[in-house]
C-alpha cells in the first residue's frame, strides 16, 4: 500500500515503511522551530508559527506534490507521527483542493508498535534453520526452495539487511537503518501469516548482519528451531566465494562507474580493508600472508581474468578463519539436526518430509509434536 509520510525528512530517514514516500508538511528546520515554540508557548502559538512558516507558494508546492501522488496512486494513505495535528492540517488542505484522503489513526507510531508486536510473535511460524559453512550456498538454497515447493516460504535476513552476513559481506549500496530493517522484517512476517506455508526457511545468522541487529525474538527462533545443514565440496565453496567477492562486486561497480574508473582497484581496496578488519583474529603473520596473496592474485587476475587465481588467499581464509569459527559455533548448539546434504538432496528432502513442524511461542518455548518418522 502506498503511503504519504508527512513527517519531516529527518524523521523519515530514521525509519519509515518500504512503500512510503516522504512528502513532508514541514522541513527539518521548520519542524524544529515549531517544536520549540510548542514547548515554550503552547499549541496555539505553535500552530500560528507553522502557518507563518508554510504559506503561499511554499504551501501550494507541498499540496501539489501530495495531489500528484494521489492522482498517480488514488489508493494512497496519509500519515504523520501520531496521527495528530500534522495529519489534521494536511487533510484540511487536501479537502480544500477537493480531495478526501484516508489516513492512519495513531500515525507512524501506531504502525511501528504493531510491527514490533509482529516481530515479538515470530515464534508462531513453522521455522526450519538452514546452516552451513561459508560458501556452501545457503542463500541460493533459500531461493531454490521457494521455486521448488509452493508450501515453502523463506525469510531472507541478509537481503533485508542488505549485507551478506560476514566480514566480507558489505554491499555496494548502504545498509538500511535499524528501524527500517526491523520494519521490513516485520512485513515479511506479516506475509507469512497471510500464507499457508507448512515450513519457513531462515538462514543461520548471528546477532549482527553487518551493523543490523537481529531482533531478539528472531535470534530465539534461530537458536531453538530444528535445522538442516547444507554441505558443499571445498573447491566449490572457494569458487563460490571468489565469484561473490570478486566477480559480482566487479560487475556491480561496472554498472555504477564509467569506463575510466579502475573498478578492480576498488574491489581490491575494499577486500584489503575487510581483511584488515579481522586481523586480530587471523594474527599478524597470517594476515600479512593473506594480504600479500590477495594483492598478487589481483595482479594475475588482471592479465588472465581467471577467478581461480583468488583461491590462493580464499582457501586459507576458509580453512583458517571461517571453518573453525563455524565448527566452534556448531559445537555449542543444541539444535535438532534433521538432515544434512548438498542442495539437490535437501530440496528433495524438503519436498518429501512429513510436515509436522514444531511451533514456538513468543518466549521461544517449544510445543512438542511427534518426532518425524
What CATH number corresponds to the domain at position 66? 3.40.250.10
Total count of domains within the chain? 3
- Indicate if 347 and 223 belong to the same structural domain: yes
Amino acid 373: pLDDT: 26
Q: Do 80 and 215 lie in a common domain?
A: no
The pLDDT assigned to 358 comes to 46
Would residue 329 count as lying in a domain? Answer: no
Phi first, then psi: give them for residue 332, nearest 5 degrees. Answer: -95, -5
Distance CA 122, CA 192 (A): 10
Q: Bigger pLDDT: 364 or 46?
A: 46
Give the per-residue pLDDT at 355: 60
Grid cell listed for 45: 502559538
In-domain check, residue 373: no
Backbone angles phi, psi at 239, to 5 degrees: -65, -45
| pLDDT, tens digit (0-9, with 9 covering 90-100), for 138-174 | 999 999 999 888 889 999 999 999 998 888 888 888 9
Domain boundary at 60, 91, 116, which? Answer: 116
Distance CA 250, CA 270 (A): 11
Render pLDDT for 221-254 as a digit per residue (tens, 0 to 9). Answer: 999 999 999 999 999 999 999 999 999 999 999 9
Is it the case that residue 47 has pLDDT exceeding 90? no
Strand partners, 327: none
Mean pLDDT across the stretch 202-209? Answer: 95
**What are φ and ψ of residue 18, in 5° steps?**
-55, -30
pLDDT at 231: 97
Among candidates 128, 127, 117, which has minimal Cα distance to 190?
Answer: 117
Q: Which of 116, 138, 162 is the last residue of a domain?
A: 116
Does a structural domain hold residue 331?
Answer: no
Collapse the DSSP code of 36 into the 3-class scheme (helix H, G, I; strand E, B; otherwise coil) and give the result: helix
Banded model confidence at residue 367, pLDDT cuts 50, 70, 90: very low
Q: Quick one: 186 and 65 in the same domain?
A: no
Q: Which of 72, 77, 97, 73 is nearest to 87 (CA)?
A: 77
Q: Are residues 92 and 224 in the same domain?
A: no
**pLDDT > 70: percent of the chain:** 95
For the beta carbon of residue 17, count every other beta carbon within 10 angstroms: 21
Indicate if 184 and 247 belong to the same structural domain. Answer: no
The CATH number of residue 197's host domain is 3.40.50
The C-alpha atoms of residue 10 and residue 67 are separated, in whole angstroms, by 22
In 10 A of CB 360, how many CB atoms?
A: 21
Can you tell me the mean pLDDT for 75-96? 93
- Residues that are catalytic: 80
- Say whether pLDDT at 188 is over 70: yes
**Residue 343 and residue 223 in one domain:** yes
User: Could you tell me the three cell numbers for 219?
Assistant: 535470534
Provide the Cα torsion 61, 66, 71, 76; round to 10°.
170
Last residue of a domain, one of 116, 134, 155: 116
Please check whether residue 201 lies inside any domain of the structure. Answer: yes
Q: What percent of the chain has pLDDT over 90?
A: 81
**What are the backbone angles phi and psi of residue 288, rounded to the nearest 5°?**
-65, -40
Same domain flag for 219 and 276: no
Phi and psi torsions of 142, nearest 5°: -55, -45
Mean pLDDT, the chain, rounded, equals 91
Q: Please work out, in degrees rounded to the nearest 5, the angle formed at the alpha carbon of residue 44 by the alpha carbons of 38 and 50.
A: 70
Please give the DSSP secondary-structure letter assigned to residue 319. I
Cell match 571445498: residue? 234
Give the per-residue pLDDT at 370: 32
The strand pair at 199-203 and 127-132 is best described as: parallel
The pLDDT-based confidence of 363 (bands split at 50, 70, 90) is very low
C-alpha distances in angstroms, 364 versus 104, 241, 361?
32, 34, 5
Residue 135, burial from CB neighbour count under 10 angstroms (0-12, 13-18, 19+): buried
Q: The domain containing residue 213 runs over which residues?
A: 123-229+338-367
Q: Is residue 316 scored above 50 in pLDDT?
A: yes
Which of 92-106, 295-309, 343-357 shows the lowest mean pLDDT across its residues?
343-357
Q: Specify whether 10 is located in the same domain as 91.
A: yes
Residue with cell string 543490523: 212
- Does the residue 207 lie in any domain? yes
Asked if pLDDT for residue 89 goes beyond 80, the answer is yes
The three cell numbers locating residue 321:
578463519
pLDDT band at 12; cut points 50, 70, 90: very high
Amino acid at each position: 500500500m502506498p503511503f504519504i509520510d508527512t513527517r519531516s525528512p529527518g524523521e523519515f530517514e530514521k525509519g519509515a515503511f518500504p512503500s512510503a514516500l516522504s512528502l513532508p508538511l514541514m522541513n527539518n528546520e521548520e519542524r524544529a522551530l515549531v517544536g520549540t515554540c510548542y514547548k515554550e508557548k503552547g499549541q496555539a502559538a505553535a500552530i500560528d508559527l507553522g502557518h507563518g512558516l508554510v504559506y503561499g507558494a511554499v504551501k501550494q508546492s507541498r499540496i501539489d506534490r501530495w495531489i500528484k501522488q494521489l492522482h498517480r496512486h488514488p489508493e494512497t494513505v496519509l500519515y504523520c507521527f501520531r496521527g495528530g495535528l500534522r495529519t489534521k492540517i494536511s487533510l484540511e488542505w487536501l479537502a480544500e483542493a477537493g480531495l478526501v484522503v484516508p489516513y492512519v489513526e495513531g500515525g507512524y507510531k501506531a504502525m511501528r508498535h504493531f510491527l514490533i508486536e509482529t516481530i515479538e510473535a515470530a515464534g508462531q511460524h513453522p521455522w526450519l534453520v538452514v546452516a552451513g559453512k561459508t560458501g556452501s550456498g545457503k542463500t541460493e538454497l533459500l531461493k531454490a526452495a521457494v521455486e521448488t515447493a509452493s508450501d515453502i516460504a523463506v525469510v531472507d535476513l541478509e537481503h533485508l539487511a542488505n549485507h551478506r552476513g560476514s566480514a566480507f559481506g558489505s554491499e555496494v549500496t548502504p545498509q538500511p537503518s535499524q528501524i527500517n530493517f526491523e520494519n521490513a522484517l516485520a512485513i515479511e512476517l506479516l506475509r507469512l501469516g497471510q500464507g499457508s506455508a507448512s515450513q519457513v526457511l531462515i538462514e543461520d545468522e548471528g546477532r549482527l548482519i553487518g551493523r543490523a541487529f537481529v531482533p531478539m525474538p528472531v535470534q530465539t527462533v534461530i537458536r531453538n528451531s530444528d535445522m538442516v545443514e547444507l554441505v558443499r565440496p571445498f573447491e566449490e565453496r572457494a569458487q563460490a566465494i571468489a565469484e561473490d567477492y570478486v566477480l559480482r562486486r566487479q560487475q556491480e561497480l561496472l554498472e555504477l562507474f564509467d569506463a575510466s574508473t579502475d573498478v578492480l582497484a576498488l574491489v581490491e581496496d575494499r577486500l584489503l580493508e575487510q581483511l584488515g578488519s579481522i586481523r586480530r583474529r587471523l594474527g599478524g603473520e597470517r594476515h600479512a600472508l593473506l594480504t600479500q596473496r590477495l594483492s598478487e592474485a589481483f595482479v594475475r587476475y588482471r592479465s588472465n581474468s581467471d577467478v581461480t587465481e583468488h583461491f590462493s588467499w580464499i582457501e586459507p581464509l576458509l580453512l583458517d578463519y571461517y571453518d573453525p569459527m563455524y565448527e566452534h559455533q556448531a559445537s555449542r548448539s543444541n539444535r535438532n539436526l534433521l538432515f544434512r546434504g548438498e542442495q539437490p538432496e535437501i530440496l528433495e528432502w524438503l519436498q518429501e518430509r512429513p510436515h509436522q513442524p514444531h511451533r514456538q511461542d513468543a518466549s521461544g518455548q517449544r510445543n512438542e509434536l511427534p518426532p518425524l518418522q
